[in-house]
Amino acid sequence: MSARRVHSRYRRHLADAAMGSRPVVIDLSVRRLFCDTTRCARRTFAEQTAGLTVKQ
């Protein structure tokens, strides 16, 4: 089941190795979502962007 209720939004800045002489920075807008399942250990969580971010 996927979460649908949005709690809030925030910006993430991902930095990576330089490409040539230019730094690489990715600016994302990420949603925090509510978990409505009673078994969830957390009430809110941040969405992940496939290929860019992973849960740690």
DSSP classification of residue 39: T
What pTM was computed for the model?
Answer: 0.56
- Beta carbons within 8 Å of 47's beta carbon, 6+ residues apart: 30, 31, 32, 33
**pLDDT greater at residue 47 or residue 55:** 47
Query: 43 versus 2: which is more confidently predicted?
Result: 43
Confidence of residue 5 (pLDDT cuts 50, 70, 90): confident
Token pair for 16: 């990576």
Report, as an integer, the average pLDDT of 5-21: 82
Query: What is the predicted pLDDT for the residue at 55?
Result: 64
Q: Which residue has the tokens 């939004």?
A: 9
Alpha helices in 1-56 (DSSP H): none
Contacts 24+ apart (CB under 8 A), 41-44: 44/7
In this predicted structure, the answer to whether residue 50 has a pLDDT above a threshold of 60 is yes
